[in-house]
Amino acid sequence: MCIASNAHMNCWTQHAFPHLLECRTYFKHSVDMLILLTLLSGVQVVSFGDWVKIDQAETCAGETVGKPREKLTSVTAMLDIAAQR
């Protein structure tokens, strides 16, 4: 098993992904494949509800400086807000 993230992605790319592509006929919809690939890759998915949280944070930040919104420019900051319960 690969521990480091780069090593993990290398293992994924070299071993799991090719086998998954061979098995793609078992997926009825391409969306199923996309969901599976996303889950296996460890990507943080942003739902509509998460987007609403980001939008609200930007709107509130804008109000404090007299603007309609203050855009977040850091993906990390956006994901942190999206992850909040």
Q: What is the DSSP string of the chain?
A: ---SHHHHHHHIIIIIHHHHHHTGGG-SSHHHHHHHHHHHHTPPP--HHHHHHHHHHHHHHHHHTTSS------HHHHHHHHH--
pTM: 0.58
Residues 11-66 pLDDT 10s = 656 666 666 666 655 555 677 778 788 888 888 888 899 999 999 999 999 999 99
Sequence ranges of the domains in the chain: 5-41, 48-83
